[in-house]
């Protein structure tokens, strides 16, 4: 095998007891940008999404509706899988945990490996279980006797369960995370996990009675009275989907022998991913993930998104109204790295108008139409090292490392800021070098103006090409449209690379037409 770098990135797998909301859209888009950027860098990349279907809560929802659980989860899973088109998601694989033939053997193999390590034992258990969270709570974790997340009174559960010896793994987990061999970011989430581990880890229940689950769930090997605790089979999806059960080539390529195993998750499931999951893997003799990127929550008009309160927004409808790129861009640009973000449609519109329609779209439109008007559509060939282009070239040269650092640090704002520095520099170049004045002087026979006009148009065209290249992982549709206006197919754009060059010299641009029209015009047409 060559030295080609590898990259594996996953979303969490959401419960399918409801419809996808904008919070999952955020996570799906974040993971998608990481995957697209890795592919664009030429890395051997695999991205995974899916749905978590073995939860007890699905059994209850199906009973309320009077339909089989399998029918309920199939219907709802289709809605999550259906985000792919409207959000321009590019996952390579999508796993449904109640349905995928790779899941049960994968989860059972992981279970047996933990048993072989003597980390599984059976004991009687009494506890308070929130079925919506699918986890036990201690009395002191509840607020007024209710689940701190769902506000419902947890069930008193009294049964015999299998337990996992998490208590054995505290030191190793602490060491992994403190040393960043398992990178948990942003920093306050790393601190949260380290503090949690520091308080001491208790063994946790990894099964429930098959009867309580009405037989729904992944059977515990060699014990028909028990099904796996939904989190155990859910977490195993990340390796089950790589054919862990059969020790297939994907498992070696993207897990065992891949130094970048990246999960993108919400802050509410940090403990499952940064504590339980790596511990299960260590027990099974497998490498833990290398990076856990944690996003905060989106609120809607400053309220928690909640179906029961009627406070939801459908990402598919938003994309249909405002465009896929408008939604992707808003999520990536506006979501704070270390605090909750608030979504309103007014904010989405404002961001679209200011950044996409005005700063970026208008720039591209001006450049393409000036090349059309002053050069008959042909991008002039000029000296790629001319002093006049130095300002743009130096801004452009700084972008790749800033994007790489931004994405490595799970900081999409920083990455977009780096790209927007070139948007601003190019707009400044248009305003300062006034191609229309150069064109007038050139028509009057001024040879210096003629040469300066060639230079500025070629440099602006190259700036736009680089914008299209860098924006591809973030707003893939718009980036492809920019490239097309410059006369480049998506493939040609990719091949043209991320450094300042001469790929456009002599190319013919298309008729200028706004890629990001003003919304007033777009919504009324």
Count of CB atoms situated within 10 Å of the CB of 417 = 14
Query: Minimum distance from CB of 245 to Zn ion (Å)?
Result: 31
Q: Reading across the β-sheet that carries 120-130, which strands appear in turn?
A: 135-137, 120-130, 155-164, 204-205
Query: Minimum distance from CB of 212 to Zn ion (Å)?
Result: 17
**Which residues, listed in sequence order, are joined to residue 204 by a DSSP beta bridge?**
164
Query: Minimum distance from CB of 311 to Zn ion (Å)?
Result: 17
How far from the centroid of its chain's Cα atoms is residue 347's Cα? 21
Query: Minimum distance from CB of 306 to Zn ion (Å)?
Result: 12
Task: Give the residue with the Cβ less far from Zn ion, 149 or 494.
Answer: 149
Query: Minimum distance from CB of 185 to Zn ion (Å)?
Result: 25
Task: Give the residue with the Cβ less far from Zn ion, 78 or 152.
Answer: 152
Query: Minimum distance from CB of 150 to Zn ion (Å)?
Result: 3
CB crowding 159-177: b at 16 or more within 10 Å, else e: bebbbbbbebbbeebbebb
Structural tokens at position 243? 């054919």
Q: How many residues does the chain have?
A: 525
Do the Cβ atoms of 342 and 302 come closer than 8 Å? yes
Task: Give the residue with the Cβ less far from Zn ion, 275 or 335.
Answer: 275
Contact set with Zn ion (CB under 5 A): 130, 132-133, 147, 149-150
DSSP for 216-256? Answer: -SPBPTT-TTEEE-HHHHHHTHHHHTTTTTTT-HHHIIIII
Task: Give the residue with the Cβ less far from Zn ion, 31 or 270.
Answer: 270
Q: Which residues contact 403 (CB under 8 A, 6 or more apart)?
A: 37, 415, 418, 419, 470
Task: Give the residue with the Cβ less far from Zn ion, 132 or 188.
Answer: 132
Q: Which residues contact 13 (CB under 8 A, 6 or more apart)?
A: 49, 50, 51, 52, 95, 97, 234, 237
Query: Minimum distance from CB of 58 to Zn ion (Å)?
Result: 15
Q: Which residues contact 354 (CB under 8 A, 6 or more apart)?
A: none
Task: Give the residue with the Cβ less far from Zn ion, 155 or 477.
Answer: 155
Count of CB atoms situated within 10 Å of the CB of 225 = 12
Task: Give the residue with the Cβ less far from Zn ion, 154 or 186.
Answer: 154
Task: Give the residue with the Cβ less far from Zn ion, 150 or 505.
Answer: 150
For the chain, give the longest Cα–Cα distance. Answer: 94
Query: Minimum distance from CB of 147 to Zn ion (Å)?
Result: 3
């Amino acid at each position: 095998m060559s030295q080609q770098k590898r990259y594996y990135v996953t979303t969490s797998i959401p419960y399918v007891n409801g419809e996808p909301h904008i919070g999952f859209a955020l996570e799906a888009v974040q993971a998608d940008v990481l995957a697209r950027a890795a592919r664009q860098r030429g890395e051997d990349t695999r991205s995974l999404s899916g749905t978590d279907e073995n939860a007890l809560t699905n059994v209850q929802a199906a009973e309320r509706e009077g339909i089989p659980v399998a029918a309920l989860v199939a219907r709802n899973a289709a809605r999550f899988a259906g985000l792919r088109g409207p959000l321009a998601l590019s996952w390579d694989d999508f796993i449904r945990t109640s349905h995928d033939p790779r899941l049960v053997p994968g989860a059972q193999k992981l279970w047996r490996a933990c048993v072989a390590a003597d980390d599984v034992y059976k004991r009687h258990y009494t506890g308070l279980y929130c079925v919506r969270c699918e986890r036990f709570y201690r009395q002191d974790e509840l607020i007024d006797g209710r689940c701190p997340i769902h506000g419902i009174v947890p069930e008193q559960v009294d049964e015999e369960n299998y337990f996992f010896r998490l208590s054995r793994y505290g030191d190793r987990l602490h060491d992994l995370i403190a040393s960043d061999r398992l990178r948990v970011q942003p920093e306050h989430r790393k601190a949260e996990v380290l503090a949690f581990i520091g308080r001491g880890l208790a063994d946790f229940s990894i099964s429930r009675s098959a009867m309580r689950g009405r037989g729904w769930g992944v059977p515990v090997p060699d014990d028909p009275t028990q099904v796996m605790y939904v989190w155990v089979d859910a977490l195993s999806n990340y390796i089950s989907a790589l054919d862990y059960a059969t020790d297939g080539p994907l498992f070696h390529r993207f897990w065992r022998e891949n130094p970048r195993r990246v999960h993108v998750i919400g802050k509410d499931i940090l403990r499952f991913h940064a504590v339980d999951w790596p511990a299960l893997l260590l027990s099974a003799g497998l490498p833990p993930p290398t990076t856990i990127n944690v996003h905060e929550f989106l609120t809607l008009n400053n309220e928690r998104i909640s179906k029961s309160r009627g406070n939801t927004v459908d990402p598919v409808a938003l994309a249909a109204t405002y465009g896929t790129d408008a939604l992707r861009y808003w999520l990536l640009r506006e979501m704070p790295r270390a605090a909750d973000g608030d979504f309103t449609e007014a904010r989405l519109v404002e961001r679209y108008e200011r950044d996409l329609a005005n700063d970026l779209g208008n720039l591209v439109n001006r450049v393409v139409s000036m090349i059309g008007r002053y050069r008959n559509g042909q991008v002039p060939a000029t000296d790629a090292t001319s002093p006049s282009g130095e300002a743009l070239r130096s801004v452009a040269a700084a972008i790749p490392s800033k994007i790489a650092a931004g994405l490595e640090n799970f900081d999409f704002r920083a990455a977009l800021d780096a790209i927007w520095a070139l948007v601003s520099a190019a707009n400044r170049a248009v305003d300062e070098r006034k191609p229309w004045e150069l064109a007038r002087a050139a028509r009057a026979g001024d040879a210096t103006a003629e040469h300066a006009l060639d230079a500025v148009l070629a440099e602006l065209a190259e700036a736009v090409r680089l914008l299209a290249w860098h924006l591809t992982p973030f707003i893939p549709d718009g980036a492809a449209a920019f490239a097309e206006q410059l006369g480049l197919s998506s493939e040609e754009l990719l091949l043209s690379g991320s450094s300042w060059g001469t790929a456009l010299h002599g190319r013919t641009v298309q008729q200028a037409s706004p890629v990001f029209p003003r919304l007033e015009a777009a919504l009324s047409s």
